C-alpha cells in the first residue's frame, strides 16, 4: 500500500513544479549577446556561430543544450551559453528590488569561465593575479582579461566620490578565494580572482534574510548608487541587482553591460 501514496505524492510534487516558471529558451537579442561575449573576452573566444563558441584553446562550447524546461535551480546548476543571458542586466538603473528570481549574472557556464581565468584548483599561480591598491590596503585580482586594470580604473573613479563613501569600500571583505558558492558545488567568481566584496559592515545578503516556503526574500540594500555606477562603467556587475541579492559583491562581466 505504500507505493500508491508515494506515487500520489510524486504527482503532487510534479504538478506543483510545472506551475512554476521554466527557463532555458533562447533569450531575445541572442546575436547581440554573443557578439558582446566575444568582444568581452577576445583573448579566449576565437569565433562563434549559431550553435557553438570556438575558443582559442581549440575547445568548443555549445550555445544551447536544447532544453526549455529547466527549473530555476537547474538554470543555475546546468546552464548553457544562452542561459547566461536569461535576465537582462539593468546597468546604471536606480537600485531597486528585482523581479522574482531575476538574477542577471548568476548564471555562469563554468567550463567557459575556467578557460577565461584558469582553474584555481590547479594552484593560484594559474590565475596570474597581482595586488592592486585598495583604499589604504591592497587586494589580489586576476590580470587576465585586464581585470586588474579595470579595478584600478574603478578605484581611481571611486576616489573622486565624497570621502564619506569610503566606509562602504574598505576594508574589502575579499577578492580571490578558491571556493564554491555557499550552499552549492558551483565555483564562485571569487575562485577566478575576478570579483571583489566591499565592507561587510554595509552588506546585505539574501541568505541572511529569511526566505518563506515560497522562497521569496526581501531585497535590502545600503550601497549607494554612485558606487554601483562606477563599477558598472568599468565592466563590473553588482550583486545588488539580483533577486538573490549580495550587495557587497561586484564581478567583472562586461558581456552583460552594453558598450
Which residues contact Zn ion by CB under 5 A? 197, 249
Q: Which is nearer to Zn ion, 144 or 249 (CB)?
A: 249
In angstroms, what is the minimal distance from the CB of 49 to Zn ion? Answer: 34
In angstroms, what is the minimal distance from the CB of 189 to Zn ion? Answer: 7
Alpha helices by DSSP H, the chain: 2-18, 30-40, 72-77, 110-117, 147-158, 166-169, 225-233
Q: 130 near 141, Cβ under 8 Å?
A: yes
176-207 in b/e form (b: 16+ CB < 10 A) is bbbeebeeeeebbbbbbbbbbbbbeeebbbbe
In angstroms, what is the minimal distance from the CB of 195 to Zn ion? Answer: 5
In angstroms, what is the minimal distance from the CB of 197 to Zn ion? Answer: 4
In angstroms, what is the minimal distance from the CB of 18 to Zn ion? Answer: 34
Q: Which is nearer to Zn ion, 33 or 253 (CB)?
A: 253
Q: 236 near 154, Cβ under 8 Å?
A: yes
Helix (H, G, I), strand (E, B) or coil at 115: helix
Q: Which is nearer to Zn ion, 68 or 179 (CB)?
A: 179
Handedness of CA 32, 37, 42, 44 (dihedral sign): negative
Q: Which is nearer to Zn ion, 86 or 196 (CB)?
A: 196
Q: Which residue is closest to Zn ion by CB?
A: 249
Range list of β-strands (E), the chain: 45-48, 52-55, 60-62, 129-134, 137-142, 195-197, 236-238, 249-252
Written as nine digits, the cell of 31 is: 546575436
Q: Which is nearer to Zn ion, 24 or 193 (CB)?
A: 193
Question: What are residue 194's DSSP bridge partners?
Answer: none
In angstroms, what is the minimal distance from the CB of 26 to Zn ion? Answer: 29
Q: Which is nearer to Zn ion, 64 or 199 (CB)?
A: 199
Written as nine digits, the cell of 74 is: 537547474
Amino acid at each position: 500500500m505504500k507505493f500508491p501514496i508515494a506515487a500520489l505524492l510524486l504527482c503532487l510534487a510534479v504538478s506543483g513544479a510545472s506551475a512554476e516558471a521554466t527557463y532555458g529558451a533562447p533569450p531575445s537579442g541572442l546575436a547581440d549577446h554573443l557578439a558582446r561575449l566575444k568582444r568581452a573576452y577576445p583573448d579566449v573566444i576565437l569565433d562563434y556561430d549559431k550553435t557553438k563558441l570556438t575558443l582559442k584553446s581549440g575547445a568548443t562550447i555549445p550555445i544551447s543544450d536544447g532544453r526549455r524546461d529547466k527549473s530555476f535551480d537547474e538554470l543555475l546548476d546546468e546552464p548553457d551559453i544562452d542561459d547566461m543571458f536569461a535576465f537582462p542586466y539593468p546597468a546604471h538603473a536606480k537600485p531597486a528590488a528585482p523581479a522574482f528570481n531575476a538574477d542577471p549574472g548568476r548564471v555562469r557556464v563554468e567550463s567557459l569561465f575556467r578557460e577565461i581565468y584558469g582553474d584555481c584548483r590547479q594552484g593560484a599561480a594559474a590565475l596570474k593575479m597581482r595586488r592592486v591598491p585598495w583604499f589604504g590596503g591592497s587586494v589580489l585580482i586576476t590580470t587576465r582579461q585586464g581585470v586588474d586594470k579595470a579595478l584600478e580604473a574603478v578605484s581611481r573613479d571611486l576616489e573622486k566620490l565624497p570621502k564619506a563613501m569610503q566606509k562602504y569600500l574598505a576594508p574589502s571583505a575579499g577578492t580571490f578565494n578558491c571556493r564554491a558558492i555557499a550552499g552549492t558545488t558551483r565555483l564562485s567568481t571569487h575562485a577566478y580572482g575576478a570579483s571583489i566584496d566591499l565592507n561587510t559592515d554595509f552588506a546585505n545578503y539574501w541568505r541572511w534574510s529569511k526566505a518563506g516556503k515560497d522562497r521569496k526574500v526581501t531585497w535590502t540594500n545600503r550601497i549607494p548608487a554612485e558606487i554601483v555606477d562606477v563599477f558598472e562603467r568599468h565592466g563590473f556587475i553588482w550583486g545588488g541587482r539580483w533577486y538573490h541579492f549580495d550587495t557587497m559583491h561586484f564581478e567583472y562581466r562586461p558581456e552583460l553591460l552594453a558598450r
